[in-house]
Amino acid sequence: MSNSPVQEFTKGIWKENPVLIQLLGMCPVLAVTGTVVNGLAMGLATSFVLICSNIIISLLRNFIPKQVRIACYIVVIATFVTMADIFIKANFMDISKALGPFIPLIVVNCLILGRAEAFASKHSCFKSILDGLGMGAGFTLGLILISSVRELLGNGSILGMSIIGSWFKPWLIMVLPPGAFIAMGFIVAGMHVIKEK
Amino acid sequence: MYNNLSFRMIFVMVLITAVSGLVLSGVWSVSVEKIKKNETIRVEEALYSINPQVKSFKVKVKNGESIYECYDKDKILKAYFFLAEGNGFQAPIKVALSVDIDWKNITGIRVLEQSETPGLGAKITEDSFYDKFSSLTLLEKPVVCIKEKAEKTNSEIRAITAATISSQAVVDLINKKIKILRKAGF
């Protein structure tokens, strides 16, 4: 059974959303979603790496011997991660400081290696691009959703702009690590309620 | 057959890592200047925003400690400016600090780098915290961080609610740096 090109793209956003359904790459999801800006930057950086590595790996899929494929994938992924890290450092100093080690840690995000192994190594370049775009968009949207909830409840703002008036006492726990788990839990639960209807 | 496969595995891996290394060194050599420049831009921005009257500066090194001498448009020494670093709640905090030429008052502070908790310790980067430092008196005594409702003397800082550790960390690293600089002969 093979998906149509449109399905290859949309499955990452809804049916197989990496954050909310597959629960892949939870480390950055929980760690950097304190503010929407950080969540968005993380999502975009991960999407960039995911799309680029999907392209290269699908192009090289008949060239790489299967015994050393994982090592080769990691080298390809690490190359793009380092490129993204250097780019962010050169152009978005504040975001680089805020995300700290989590940009280099995209290398070990299981979402990217997972897509390389499960999809890009078995499909054409075109389909792998669609898969990367869809999964990247799904990952970014998931991060934006969680970080919006956390920033709104924990700081009363979205993207640094105050949304709720000063009467609102921020729930500080939402910007602390436990808040990540709480927000995540409720969002994933809500997602399943919607899905099963 | 076996040898053939080993050769192919080695060949592919060497090729991929070589290309990767080549690409990365290219990207790095293009960006390295910009990354370095970002650092100096941040420091200079802090210097000019603390001391709006300052038009130029000169870096002076004494006993291994460096300080920025800030001059106004008539080339008159107006303030000293320096960087200080210390441990915050989880990660190092880096601040830029400016004092007047008699080392009597702090004229301003900017936090350059921090990874304090968003919404709590990260409030050390807000203007309301910076304002507490402007015209703070040094009086040969270290700055004190207090938890009471209001500052009693001119060398006290009221800690940010729910961010006492971060506030204290900033005060400590300032005191330490000032002591080191005075010892170095500034």
What Cα–Cα distance (Å) separates residue A34 from each residue in A18, A44, A66, B166? Answer: 19, 16, 40, 18
Residue B1 pLDDT grade (very low, low, confident, very high; cuts 50, 70, 90): low
pLDDT in tens, A13-61: 888 888 888 888 888 888 888 889 989 999 999 999 999 999 999 999 9
Check pLDDT > 50 for residue A92.
yes
In angstroms, the CA A124 to CA A15 distance is 21
B77: three-class secondary structure by DSSP = strand
Check pLDDT > 50 for residue A85.
yes
B171 falls within a domain: yes
The b/e string for B19-51 (b: 16+ C-beta within 10 A; e otherwise) is ebeeebeebeeebeeeeeebeeebbeebbeebb
Helix (H) or strand (E) holding B113: strand B105-113
Query: Domains in chain B: how many in total?
Result: 1
Sorted by where each begins, the domain ranges of chain A are: 5-196
B82: three-class secondary structure by DSSP = strand
Inter-chain residue contact B24 with A65, CB threshold 8 Å: no
Instruction: Give the pLDDT of residue B157.
Output: 78
In angstroms, the CA A173 to CA A154 distance is 7
Three-state SS string across A129-178, please? HHHHHHHHHHHHHHHHHHHHHHHHHHHCEECCEECCCCCCCCCHHHHCHH
B178 falls within a domain: yes
In angstroms, the CA A43 to CA A106 distance is 10
B106 falls within a domain: yes
List residues bridging with B106 in a β-sheet: B99, B136
Instruction: Give the pLDDT of residue B140.
Output: 57
Q: Which amino acid is at B56?
A: S
| Cβ–Cβ < 8 Å for B154, B105 | no
Across the interface, of A65, A89, A154, the residue whose CB is closest to B9 is: A65
- Our CA-based measurement puts residue B144 at a distance from the nearest CA of chain A, in whole angstroms, of 27
Instruction: Give the pLDDT of residue A1.
Output: 47
In angstroms, the CA B14 to CA B22 distance is 12
- Our CA-based measurement puts residue B166 at a distance from the nearest CA of chain A, in whole angstroms, of 15
Residue A62 tokens read as 């008949």
Q: Confirm or reject contact between A33 and chain B (CB < 8 A).
A: no
Helix (H) or strand (E) holding A117: none
Q: B63 in the Ramachandran plot: left (φ > 0), alpha (ψ -120 to 50) or beta?
A: left
B69 falls within a domain: yes
B102 falls within a domain: yes
Chain A residue whose CA is closest to B7 = A65
Query: For chain B, which residues lie within 8 Å of any Cβ of chain A, measuring from their own Cβ?
Result: 5, 8-9, 12-13, 16-17, 20, 23-24, 27-28, 31, 34-35, 38, 42, 91, 113, 115, 117-120, 162
In angstroms, the CA B109 to CA B81 distance is 9
Axis-axis angle for helices B2-50, A69-91 (nearest 10): 10
List residues bridging with B66 in a β-sheet: B61
Check pLDDT > 80 for residue A166.
no
pLDDT in tens, B64-121: 788 888 888 888 888 888 888 889 888 889 999 888 888 888 888 898 888 787 677 8
Stretch 141-180 of chain A: residues touching chain B, C-beta under 8 Å: 154-155, 170, 172, 175-176
- Our CA-based measurement puts residue A182 at a distance from the nearest CA of chain B, in whole angstroms, of 17
Domain encompassing residue B77:
47-183
Residue B99 tokens read as 């004092």
Mean pLDDT of A6-12: 87
